[in-house]
Structure 1
Amino acid sequence: MILRNFLAIWLWIAGVFALNATEWARQSIYQVLTDRFARTDGSTSAACNTAEYCGGTWRGLINNLDYIKEMGFTAVWISPIVAQIEAAGNQDGDSYHGFWAKDFNSLNSRFGTANDLKDLSDALHTRGMYLMVDIVTNHMAYAGCMSCVDYSTLSPFNSQSNYHSPCSIDYSSQTSIEQCWQGSNNVALADLRTEDSNVRSFFNQWIANIVSTYGIDGLRIDSAKHQETSFWPEFENNAGVFMLGEVYEGDPNKFLPYMGVFPGLLNYPVWYWVQRAFQSTSATVTELVTGLNTMKSGTAQTNYLGSFLENHDQPRMPAWSSQSSDDALIKNALAFTILADGIPVIYQGQEQKLTGGNIPSNREALWRTGFNRQADLYKYIAVLNQFRNTVIFQDQRFTQYQAIPWQVDSHTFALRKGYDGSQVVSVFNNIGSSGSSYSVSLLSSSTGFGANLELVDVIACESHTTSSSGALSFTMGSMPKAFYRKAALAGTGLCPALSGSSTATTAPTTSSSSSGVCTTPSSVAVSFTVKVTTEYGQTVKIVGNHSSLGSWDTTKAITLSASQYTSSNPIWVGTVNLPAGASIQYKFINVASSGTVTWEADPNRTFTVPAACGTTAAAVQGTWQ
């Protein structure tokens, strides 16, 4: 456990060390619907009427974070946190989802207290994970018709003058999209005049306050296209964290302009193409491959888009696939979600193969699965995340490389992502579990692989070697493939029987179609960051009780880098490989050009290196004490 002094440091520096877009591109996000993830009482049998509150809380989430961590996720996206209208018995259901705000200045007490939310942020940060919070600034809610809203019940915008006049949205008009009302005559979503200075001023102060108070690392922006784009630059500046906007639009021509407005967006165009490509074995992959090339044309940065297959607004894949029981289709689509361009976003329950259709059926209570870590898709996602995390650790440029797709045949396509020497070549198809195997050959000119190169398909844990011309030939079945250099897998815990890792442990496999293994690491790359102002000629180092940290010998201390140091953000950073599970004590030291060593104040800092399945990296941040 990291001691309380470290937790306090984290609360203080949450904004200072906020991840930028490049750093968020290296994360993998698990989306939580707070009311449906876990209860404080730990029940795994409590019933849930999906139209009403079911009892999920921030405390319940804290108690089950390792379930998420062990799948290899590095960030958790939670539901909106503000107080909601009470709408039990309403035809549109209750406000358990968090999108029907009543009071922006209060928290949703159904989810817990302010201390619970702070504890959630702390619990994530001690695990080297990040907190993303869903927010809605477009509207407030009233349990009644659009023409009968009692504005006095809303806070702080309690006057009709703060809202646009009620009207139904005409989606052919951008003005109508931005100023007319969402919702229904059961629950009216009163559209705020976000173009007004008083409304903007409140939101700019509000977002700065909640980010700093609760240690928030990123924001998901609901209904992003329903507000004028001029609202967002100042709001983003006040937030000081990465924003992932929801622009519910499948047409790239209408979607791509928003990439110049938000740091990141949920990739709805690709979601539509993936849905059509993997919904049945009779579909083709042509539209998907063509679309991927369209999305990366020009200056579009697809690496900052959220790559998803399911979410709380859409039917789950088993509900929209005409062959819902076909695991091969699901696993191909999942592998694409995690290995393609963008930030993977997995919605709670995908790992348990939940099958809910339209709202609210797709918002099932996860606790009723018993948080089963032996579920086939749980282990499958863990392997994919572990693989992606490993590649990123070995070459952080991986997420900045825009993947190159090409079509092999009407049912098969390949994807090369990564620079020479660290590229991953993935192959996907939609032939389904009953499809017949066939031969595939990929040329070196497409993959970038050299002659006689030993590779491993990390999904099946099978060895392959390229030909003298660099061609990669293999038999393709119904499962996807992900090829990577065999030599680079040594010691990672991935496919240990092939990569030569002697310390990895293998997770149980439940079926012959399960892919790979989820393993505990032998070592973890721990990134240390310290905020400290230095003068010319001074160097900041880290020294500690482990040999990798110099065994308290300052002459063997690890030198940190000032490559990211600025006068406004004076940070020194460095990465050290440490044994998984080790209890570390350490301090930062300032070494002058004369050799004089200045130690920071007592007590020693402490850190326990994580050892959870799939862990390859961790981050520790602090300020000079």
Structure 2
Amino acid sequence: MRSSSAKFLALLCGASTALGCKSKEEPPAPPPPPADLLHVPSPDWRDQILYFVMTDRFANGNPGNDDQGAGEYGPQEEARYSGGDLAGIVSRLDYIQGLGATAVWVTPPVANQWWDPLVHYGGYHGYWARNFREVDAHLGTLEDYRSLSRALHGRGMYLVQDIVLNHMANCFRYVAYEADHVERHVQLNTGAKPACGPSQAPFDQWDPTNPAHRQAGIFHWTPSILDYQNPEQELNWQLSDLDDLNTSNPAVTAALKDSYNFWIREAGVDGFRVDTVFYVPPDLFKDFLFSKDPAHPGVLETARGLGKEGFLAFGEGFASDKPFEDTLSRKVASYMDDPVTGEALLPGMLQFPLYRTAGDVFARGHPTSELAHRLMNAREVFSRPHLMPTFLDNHDVDRFRAGGSEAALRQALVFMMTVPGIPVIYYGTEQDFTGRRSAMFQAGFESGGRDRFDTTAPLYTFIQELTALRKAHAVFRRGEPTVLRQNGVRGGVFAYKMEGEGDVAFVLFNTSDEETLLDNLETGLPEGSRLALLASVNGGTEATVGSQGRLSLKLPARAVRVFRPSGQGTPVPPASARITLNTASGGTVSQDFELSGTAVGLSSLRVVVDGALGSASEVTVGPDGTWRTLIRVASMVDPTVEHSLVAWSEAAGVLSETLTFRVSRTFAPLLTHEDPANDDTGPEGRYRYPSDLSWGSNHQGDFRRVTLLGSGTVLKLAFQMPRITTEWNPQNGFDHVAFTVFIDVPGREGLTVMPQQNSTLPAGMNWDYRLRAHGWSNALFSTDGASATSEGSPVSPAATLEVDAASGTVFFTLPGELFAGQSSLSGVKVYATTWDYDGGYRPLVPGTEQWKFGGGDGAVDPIVLDSTPVLTVP
């Protein structure tokens, strides 16, 4: 443990500090409850499992507070209040606790701006505060919040509150900006409901046209961020027009401490999740958390005074690195520990880097080596990885199931429950939600007209089993991971060992949608050791470690095996057969090559490349014991990755040593289409971009040139646009446009319907695969289950994505597995369209609005801004 972590020892030991944090299997039992359940000692947060609730969308316990008469209520729309409240959460605590969660994290319960007419959206989510010290009328009262706190504490559970330090609601914005005359070009949000401007002092001094308000300096008088790489803008400008607090002003920091100390004292909150921390300076947390000022103490000081020695505070920093990089991970870490002095700041941060990589590997079929790197890199970069909440999705991003299969979700859940961190279950995951902010209750948004609290739902019971597994074995809560096997080429085997608390466990995945061979895994255990099966997905039994301490298993598609050594078994008998390879390992090839070897005691064997049993070749062994086969490399293009192969006999239980090789191939242009400029106006030329200036004259949805490139059976698409924008800081490197691409593979039956786009494909084409990608999502679908309203079934591996901002080009590379059975790409057809996406294709309306496309009726008109002709590979 680093020296900076010493002050957070209580977070790791919680109420059991006096016991010395001894190794335990089951989490320690909480102490007897106090007479007043409002305040209870902190737990060991490593043992907790969070259930994240968007309060307005979870449960409605008091319909009488739904509609406050300001036009803000409308459960038929995502933008408006749906009716969930604090009493609703209390009414569903049996459901939450039954899932295995031990704490509830709620979105900010504070009084919000109910409706912003400038953006046509409401503050149901809680992040647009008017008053940091009042409960929003839609959610209930302070007494309702206290009731939730006491109800949780009475169950041995805990309450985490979402808080905001960076900004308040949008009460003013700039239509132009002069830094020396900040009173000019101001647009006041006079139509905001229930009022324009915060009601709490000193935040009620919010108007830049008022000289006294300007002099007070409570807010930064700045426009919205244009360049997220500019530190001055990131820290001092507005995030999406939200009024930016001047946290360098002592009056502001004092008021923020007072506001959030209020919730600790008055509501018994046990932890804080801090929103948008990248937009405030890290040093702010030295004061906000640790200040000894008796008039305005830091929140951790206040919590300690109430017996909450391990009060948890974790930040949200939306940062996800590219594979094998960690620049943004280190930015996340800089909010936990001062990178210069080592002084501790926030106890934890949300594990955004791990979130992105887990989605890439489990949902999108990226090589498992990417997740291996991210998991091990966390040990190096973060001082307290066990206090970093881990998650698969949340209210700001697409649901995992919006682009990943249920089988992939099950694997990702196992991963989250068996690695360091505090697991977070986003409400609705256990009911297989695909909508980002759908409601759980019958009358709420996108509920489907029914309650969604089904405790027999397959994912609910699956998560129950996983939470029980984590609680039963301390090694998953407190151990350290060591990666044992990864696939640098594709989805497939991912294996790691968790070790600690006097225990060890092995977690094995096959992230591929086909059978995979795990060969020659070095376990470090004696030959013949038995492995008890703790948990599994897609079958499984206990296993035995083979000769030289190695484990070899055939893993079904999307299988998971969680093993724990259970003692010594019978000795492994000597092998009756043997396989050797003649071809040298470690070479680089540019075309198909011959593999040869010898075999003793076998008449046939299989050659398995990159673990893929589904495409393994059957090879006959000659009478003289020799054999040979051709290794085809048409689907292999990346010279930086190392491929592997092994010769194997399942019947004899023998394998060769592993051979590695690399493939160096280049992409060649197959077809180029020059698309007319400025034809991004829909099929009939009448559509308009949203009126927000971030679109302006950028024409982000206007194809200018489309190039198809190929290497063997790998297809690369290059979409050149007039300009790539990143005004919303997208993780994929582009925003304000979504690409939807349809792929037709020769000889296959497909569909002509274009899901959710009110259209069909041009004549002569049907699709087998559909790619949908925007700044925060990259998903591939098959036709299985697809219709006019359904996207189909997620496919893995998905396309890989690259952006060259300098040339305005977005690249998608479609893996060769999609074109299995094709000797080349000849005859493959591609049809591409553009639009934009925000939890769904952005609305189309007849008029002009800031965040909606204009010039049509989105209920019936095609959701197509620009499109290519059908492009056929010659």
Common fold by TM > 0.5: yes
Picking from 132, 156, 166, the partner of 2:222 is 166
Residue number among 221, 236, 244 corresponding to 2:314 in the alignment? 244
Q: Helix, strand or coil: the match of 2:373?
A: helix
Task: Indicate if the aligned counterparts of 1:428 and 1:481 stay in contact, CA closer than 8 A.
Answer: yes
Partners of 1:476 and 1:180 in 2: CA distance: 52
Residue range with higher mean Cα deviation, 286-295 or 237-246: 286-295
Q: 1:143 to 1:54 in 2, by over 3 A?
A: farther
Cα offset, 1:401, TM superposition: 2.9
Answering whether residue 358 of structure 2 is matched by residue 274 of structure 1, we say yes
Partner SS state of residue 508, structure 2: strand
CA distance, structure 2, for counterparts of residue 367 and residue 77 of structure 1: 26
CA distance in 1 between counterparts of 2:287 and 2:477 reads: 27
Q: Which runs of 5+ in 2 are unaligned?
A: 1-31, 65-73, 175-185, 190-195, 206-212, 291-297, 301-310, 321-327, 338-344, 568-874
Q: CA deviation at 1:47?
A: 5.3
Deviation at 1:354? 0.8
Which residue of structure 2 aligns with residue 456 of structure 1?
A: 533
Q: Match of 2:36?
A: 9
Residue 298 (structure 1) shift: 5.3
Do the aligned partners of 2:171 and 2:197 also contact (CA within 8 Å) in 1?
no
Who is 1:345 aligned against? 424
Runs in 1 of length 4+ with deviation above 6 angstroms?
Answer: 358-363
Q: Cα distance 1:200–1:357, how it changes in 2: closer, same or farther (>3 A)?
A: closer
Greater helix proportion: 1
1:378 paired with 2:460, answer: yes
Q: Deviations over 1:470-490 (max 9, x none)?
A: 444433122222113559xxx
Indicate how the Cα distance of structure 1 residues 300 and 429 shifts in structure 2: closer, same or farther if over 3 A, else same: farther
Per-residue deviation, 1:193: 0.7
Confirm or deny: 8 A CA contact 2:529 2:566 kept in the other structure: no
Q: What residue number does 1:263 align with?
A: 347
Task: Report the Cα distance in structure 1 between the residues aligned to 2:447 and 2:264, rounded to whole angstroms.
Answer: 28
- 2:406 pairs, out of 298, 316, 327, with 327
Q: Is the 8 A contact 1:452 1:468 kept in 2?
A: no
**8 Å contact 2:79–2:121 — kept in the other structure?**
yes
SS in 2 for 1:70: helix
SS of 2:159's equivalent? strand
Q: Which residue of 1 aligns with 2:564?
A: 484
Which residue matches 1:34? 55
In structure 2, the partner of 1:399 is 477
**Preserved contact between residue 485 and residue 494 of structure 2 (Cα < 8 Å):** yes
**RMSD (Å) for aligned C-alpha atoms:** 2.9
Higher-Rg structure is 2
Specify every segment of 5 or more residues in structure 1 that has no aligned partner in the other structure, as ranges.
Answer: 488-625
Where do residues 66-105 of structure 1 align in structure 2 (5 Å cutoff)? 66-87=94-115, 91-105=119-133
Q: CA deviation at 1:76?
A: 0.7
Cα pair distance change 1:317/1:347, threshold 3 Å: same
State how 1:190-201 maps to structure 2 within 5 Å.
190-201=243-254
Partner AA of 1:287 in structure 2: E
In structure 1, the partner of 2:554 is 475
Q: Is the 8 A contact 2:50 2:424 kept in 1?
A: yes
- 2:42 alignment partner, one of 1, 5, 18: 18
* Cα contact 1:77–1:132 (8 A) shared by 2: yes
Deviation at 1:314, TM superposition (A): 0.5
**Per the alignment, in what secondary structure is the counterpart of residue 283 of structure 2?**
helix
Q: Does 1:148 align with 2:148?
A: no
Amino acid at match of 1:349: G
Aligned pairs (5 A) from 1:155-554: 155-156=200-201, 157-159=203-205, 160=213, 161-169=217-225, 170-183=227-240, 188-237=241-290, 238-240=298-300, 241-250=311-320, 251-260=328-337, 261-281=345-365, 283-297=366-380, 300-319=383-402, 321=403, 324=404, 326-356=405-435, 368-392=450-474, 399-409=477-487, 410-411=490-491, 412-419=493-500, 421-432=502-513, 435-445=514-524, 451-460=528-537, 462-467=541-546, 470-477=549-556, 478-485=558-565
- Number of residue pairs aligned between Structure 1 and Structure 2: 458
Distance 1:40 1:152, change over 3 A: closer
Partner of 2:166: 138
Q: Deviations over 1:524-567 (max 9, x none)?
A: xxxxxxxxxxxxxxxxxxxxxxxxxxxxxxxxxxxxxxxxxxxx
Structure 1-normalised TM-score? 0.68
**Is the contact between residue 407 and residue 413 of structure 1 (CA under 8 Å) also seen in structure 2?**
yes
Larger displacement relative to structure 2 (295-304 or 166-175):
295-304
Would the aligned equivalents of 2:399 and 2:436 in 1 still touch at CA under 8 Å? yes
* 3-state SS, counterpart of residue 418 of structure 1: strand
C-alpha distance after superposition, 1:580-615 (max 9, x if no partner): xxxxxxxxxxxxxxxxxxxxxxxxxxxxxxxxxxxx
Shift of 1:143: 5.4
Length-normalised TM-score, structure 2: 0.49
Q: Distance in 2 between matches of 1:200 and 1:311?
A: 28
Distance 1:226 1:190 in 2: 12
Alignment partners' CA distance in 2, 1:104 and 1:71: 31
Q: How far is 1:135 from its partner?
A: 0.5
Helix, strand or coil at the partner of 1:259 = coil
CA contact (8 A) 2:173 2:223 kept: no
Higher RCO (Cα < 8 Å, 6 or more apart) = 1
User: What is the letter of the counterpart of residue 458 of structure 1?
Assistant: A
Quickly say closer, same or farther: Cα 1:142–1:350, change in 2 above 3 A: same
Give me the whole-angstrom Cα distance separating, in 2, the residues matched to 1:135 and 1:299: 23
Distance change >3 Å, CA 336–CA 9, structure 1 → 2: same
Deviations 1:269-323 (A, max 9, x none): 1112112212334x3122221222222215633222111101000001122x2xx
- DSSP 3-state at the match of 1:10: coil
> Cα distance 1:440–1:116, how it changes in 2: closer, same or farther (>3 A)?
farther
Q: 1:373 to 1:225 in 2, by over 3 A?
A: same
- Separation in 2 of the partners of 1:195 and 1:173? 18
